[in-house]
Amino acid sequence: MRKVVFVPFLFVLSFVVVGSYADWSMTQPEEDWQESLALGKEKLTKMHFYFHDIVSGKKPTAMKIAQASTTTKSPTLFGIVMMVDDLSTEGPEPTSKMVGRAQGLYASADQKQLGLLFAMSFEFTNGIYNGSTLSILGRNPVLQLVREMPIVGGTGVFKLARGVVFAKTCWFNMTSGNAVVEYHANVRENSDFEP
């Protein structure tokens, strides 16, 4: 008895779902990228670049914007928040060809070990990826040799992208605090969005 009631209900529901989807796509015909949401059109893109994190000197690219009253007493500087607009290049030298900019913030989010919360938009400014962005969000335990952080999305050719970056400190000046960090990015992107 119960089944008889349930089945028609599901049947009606499926019409409601299909109907509203069709309606929605008809109102947005130019958004043809929606079609490529189908699985199986993804490809893996590997990229390699360097971030230049300059915290001191005449032209810092990373600066402190906030800290807690207890931050200076914390061995991990817990509570410090840095705003960043780091140059990103093909090679480790700052004079190397520019690839893009890493814009966002990092903050000390661990009271016991040095662990940063990393929230960064990576904007490409060159070549086929020019204008596209990737969003990196995750934990960065900076003292580890290689840190892994999620790529949670993107725009432009990286619409609906996801992936992971591997970050490795290439060079660090203890006195100035400046660093060059090597990044390997593995991005699952939709091949239909290629320029």
Ligand X SMILES: *[C@@H]1O[C@H](CO)[C@@H](O)[C@H](O)[C@H]1NC(C)=O
Interacting residue ranges for ligand X, rule: CB under 6 A: 125-126, 130-131, 173, 175-176
Residue 72 or 130: which CB sits closer to ligand X? 130
Task: Find the shortest distance in angstroms from Cβ 53 to ligand X.
Answer: 13
Q: How far is the CB of 89 from ligand X (least distance, A)?
A: 13
CB of 87 to ligand X, least distance (A): 14
Name the residue nearer to ligand X (CB basis): 113 or 126.
126
CB of 3 to ligand X, least distance (A): 60
CB hemisphere CA count around 93 (13 angstroms): 3
Of the CA atoms within 13 Å of residue 156, those in its CB half-sphere come to: 15
Burial class (CB in 10 A: 0-12, 13-18, 19+), 125: middle
Instruction: Write down the least CB distance from residue 62 to ligand X, Å.
Output: 14
For residue 96, give the DSSP letter.
Answer: S
Listed residue (118, 99, 107) closest to 63, CA to CA: 107
**H, E, C per residue of 121-162:** EEEECCHHHCCCEEEEEEEECCCCCCEEEEEEEEEHHHCCCE
Nearer to ligand X, 150 or 156 (CB): 156
Nearer to ligand X, 87 or 107 (CB): 87
- Cα of 22 vs its chain's centroid, Å: 32
Q: Which is nearer to ligand X, 34 or 130 (CB)?
A: 130
